[in-house]
Structure 1
Amino acid sequence: MIIENLINLTIDGILVTVPEGTLLIEACRKAGIDIPVLCEDERMKPAAACKLCAVEVEWSENLVLSCCMKAKSGMTVWTQSPRVREFRKNIIENLLKTHPDDCLTCEKVGNCKLQNYAYEYGVERKNYRPILNENPYSIDYSNKFYYFDKNKCIECKRCTRVCSDLQVQNAITNENRGFKTRHGISPYVPLSETGCVSCGNCVSVCPTGALMEKKKESFREWEVKKVRTTCSYCGVGCQFNLKVVKDKVVGIEPLNDGPNSGLLCVKGKFGYKFLNNPERLKTPLIKKDGKFVEASWEEAYDLIKTKATEIMNSDGPDAFAGLSSARCTNEDNFAFQKLFRTVFKTNNVDHCARL
């Protein structure tokens, strides 16, 4: 049994007890204090790219980044001092200097972290002088599922790190720093010509409108209802939220939970259009007088039981065969073969190796 060493520190006047080695940003969250951050992804090591998580520590002349600094015993921290808020506000203003001024029409509105922080810290256009880009980047629409607008990139590096560290695809990269940063698809060729597998994990983590799904439905984020479910494309059991507007699925949001840990494949992220197909079967169908008609599950099960009993009595076990699906879980497939081997008394069971 491992016994954790606990330490005490004070954050905004609140006494907090955390295990030794806890990052300061996590200690703040334990105290119920939300720290702004654009670059953080809990699945990876801190990037310290956005600097928004800076806080004031009693013994330090400079502000420290709470995503990298470990909490220390006896530490006194301020997260909302005038000095801290002014520092964060300046960062947001600098990001907006080269950011397109199209929040009213941007598809990310309502779900854009940069916009939310600009509102929280009272950033107004009169407070900064935009640097007009005479040669804006053209938007890359070459991928079938999403597009990339370099003009809205804030260099948080979330997409590049997810692509290289978690998806291990290395399709997105960046070079240089500051206003000269070239951030995008390596080696700066269209998306369709890279090693991109269209998993869309970069789209899922982008905090602004730089990486966006190509969508046919027009909606705003505040209209979205989220419904948790399990992906049906294979037996892994990936977890995500269906984004629903007016009883219609308009998108997929991966959950950092379950076996997928926030990652999805191209099918899980973008292959949801079939859910809205009016020809989807929603109830069992039973053939009556040569035509299929809707029936209840009870009717369907009774028919299966009756027919199976008749066939077993007349032709024996070898008249049965079962074919299971890779879309089912391992547990469901196990139960399926068990049904045929023990109830139907046959070994005529197979499984499709792929979809």
Structure 2
Amino acid sequence: MLKIKINGSEFEVKKGLTILEACKEVGVEVPTFCHDDRLKPSGTCRICVVEVEGARNLMAACSTPVTDGMVIWTESKKVVDARKEILNLILANHPLDCLTCEKSGECKLQDLCYKYGIKGSTFKPNKKEYDVDESNEFYYSDPNKCILCGKCVRVCNELQCTGAIGFAQRGIKTHVTTPFDKGIANSTCVSCGNCVAVCPVGALMPKKKMKYRTWEVKKVRTTCSYCGVGCQLYLLVKDDKVVGVEPYFGEPNRGLLCVKGRFAYNFINHKDRLKTPLIKKNGKFEEATWEEAYDYIVGRLTEIKEKYGPDSIAGLTSARCTNEENYIMQKFMRAVIGTNNIDHCARL
């Protein structure tokens, strides 16, 4: 354990932590744009700078390891002035369209500008204007709102391992794009939306089927039903309708989703969606209760087994089920029905 001081208070923290991790562990908030616990520290955005006594310059909290006896100030005048200047520089090339921006209410840039009282920039804009890339079916990219934190690029490369986007050019021309600026639709993008999930501003946003503001929705945690991994996610609910999906940052997926889990939720509100069991009577399907459906299944299986034997029945399980559910199904077929006619679709 190391003994350190943060804002005048003494703490003991584990060796090997960064200043940001140590602050988080003891409940001291340090703002970030580029940091993500799942990614290697990059120190790109510099908004997390803190003052360390004895150091010549302000230190990036996300990439500086703590040392024994370190004295850290997270909101000193020097730190606050530096953060204000960083926000001032960012806003020089960032559109001030917060009133109509889809990210309003959950934008980190907006929150920090509010916290430090930054209403606009004193610097002259010098950034090239880019077209909004709407070629992807599920989300759009607006490079004009990008603050070059690099989280989307790192998530795509380090976690998703797709490598669909990266930084192009240098200096004031630097921007996040696909190879040769050909557009998302012409890249290796798999539409997972993990870049969208980590973007701190409105540069990457889902294409909404129904308009909503972040404060209008209720988040309901649930399990994705598209496969057996059990990814956790939040359904965004407005007026009793699912209007969007956000990843849950926990096990087993740690905030990552695939294209189905992230964007394929519209079936929930479809008028033809089945919500009750159907039993065919006189050639037509009729709605039934679950009790009626189970009784019918048990009755027919028993009748078929007695008349034709257990090998006249077969079971097919699904990759959408968990391993435990598939195990139970094969146990049911072998031990209850008495047949080895059990198979698995092995794919969706």
Give the shorter-chain TM-score range. over 0.9
Residue 276 of structure 1 corresponds to 269
Matched, 1:242 2:216: no
Q: Displacement, 1:177?
A: 4.4
Residue 86 of structure 1 corresponds to 81
Partner of residue 294 from structure 1, selected from 253, 273, 287: 287
Residue 158 of structure 1 corresponds to 151
**Given residue 54 of structure 1, which amino acid in structure 2 is its aligned partner?**
V
Query: Structure 1's 56 and 118: CA in aligned 2 closer, same or farther, altered over 3 A?
Result: same
Residue 35 of structure 1 corresponds to 30
Q: Distance in 1 between matches of 2:229 and 2:24?
A: 32
Residue-pair matches, total: 348
Q: Distance in 2 between matches of 1:130 and 1:221?
A: 32
Of residues 82-91 and 293-302 in structure 1, the stretch that sits farther from structure 2 once superposed is 293-302
Mark the runs of 5 or more structure 1 residues left unpaired by the alignment: 1-5
Matched, 1:191 2:191: no
Mark the runs of 5 or more structure 2 residues left unpaired by the alignment: none
**Given residue 162 of structure 1, which amino acid in structure 2 is its aligned partner?**
V
Matched, 1:342 2:342: no
Q: Displacement, 1:210?
A: 0.7
Q: Distance in 2 between matches of 1:258 and 1:75?
A: 33
CA contact (8 A) 2:126 2:172 kept: no
Matched, 1:216 2:187: no
Matched, 1:136 2:129: yes
**Given residue 133 of structure 2, which amino acid in structure 1 is its aligned partner?**
D
Q: Distance in 2 between matches of 1:258 and 1:118?
A: 33
Q: Displacement, 1:289?
A: 5.1
CA contact (8 A) 2:89 2:123 kept: no
Partner of residue 47 from structure 1, selected from 13, 19, 42: 42
Q: Displacement, 1:178?
A: 4.3
Q: Distance in 1 between matches of 2:340 and 2:264?
A: 35
CA contact (8 A) 1:38 1:50 kept: yes
Q: Distance in 2 between matches of 1:16 and 1:295?
A: 63
Residue 233 of structure 1 corresponds to 226
Cα deviations across residues 310-336 of structure 1 (Å, max 9, x unaligned)? 222222112211111111111111111
**Given residue 128 of structure 1, which amino acid in structure 2 is its aligned partner?**
T
Q: Distance in 2 between matches of 1:177 and 1:91?
A: 19
Give me the identity figure in percent: 53
Of residues 193-202 and 180-189 in structure 1, the stretch that sits farther from structure 2 once superposed is 180-189
Q: Displacement, 1:288?
A: 4.2
Residue 59 of structure 2 corresponds to 64
Q: Distance in 2 between matches of 1:315 and 1:139?
A: 64
> TM-score by structure 1 length?
0.94
Q: Distance in 2 between matches of 1:276 and 1:17?
A: 51
